[in-house]
Amino acid sequence: MQISSRFTIAIHIFACIDTFQREYKTTSDFLASSINANPVIIRKLLQQLKAAELISVQRGSGGASIAKPTNEITLYDIYRAVECVENGELFHFHENPNQNCPVGRSIHPVLDGRLKQIQDAMENEMRSITIADVLKDTKAKIAENQPV
């Protein structure tokens, strides 16, 4: 089990937009250079974030901007926007446990509720962290690493 890197890339996009928006146009090429990823991947993520109304994108070389106050955007909003999990389920259960085996026929009922509980807890924690929190920490880390 692993959440797609699209999630962390999307957060990186927000940090770049916030950090560089006054100095540079935050285009997919610009973002791709910071993320060290293919601009096509970045464009797809930008479209997903735009569809979720989290960012605005100006066609051509206009660049991206954050569409609403950063304290209103949670990590959960970003997680859902970039489709990090298949069918909304974090855990993918193996398809056909052997029903002739006592463990095989019991494992689904034993784990299903617990796995849902774990996913709900993670998603609730993501709802409590805003992109503003991440941007504040990013700015502090950038300032810490600035040459004197």
* pLDDT score at 87: 72
* pLDDT score at 94: 81
Token output for 7: 């999630």
* pLDDT score at 78: 97
User: Which fold would CATH assign to domain 6-144?
Assistant: Arc Repressor Mutant, subunit A (1.10.10)
* pLDDT score at 145: 83
pLDDT digits (tens), the chain, 148 positions:
567 899 999 999 999 999 998 898 999 999 999 999 999 999 999 999 999 999 999 876 678 999 999 999 999 999 999 977 777 778 877 888 899 999 999 999 999 999 999 999 999 999 999 999 999 999 999 999 876 5
* pLDDT score at 74: 98
* pLDDT score at 61: 67
Chain position carrying tokens 């689904």? 108
* pLDDT score at 88: 75
* pLDDT score at 137: 96
**Within 13 Å, how many C-alpha atoms sit on residue 132's CB side?**
9
Give how far Cα 94 sits from Cα of 21, 46, 91, 100, 108, Å.
45, 32, 10, 16, 9
Query: Do you know the residue count of the chain?
Result: 148
Output the furthest CA–CA distance in the chain (Å, rounded).
69
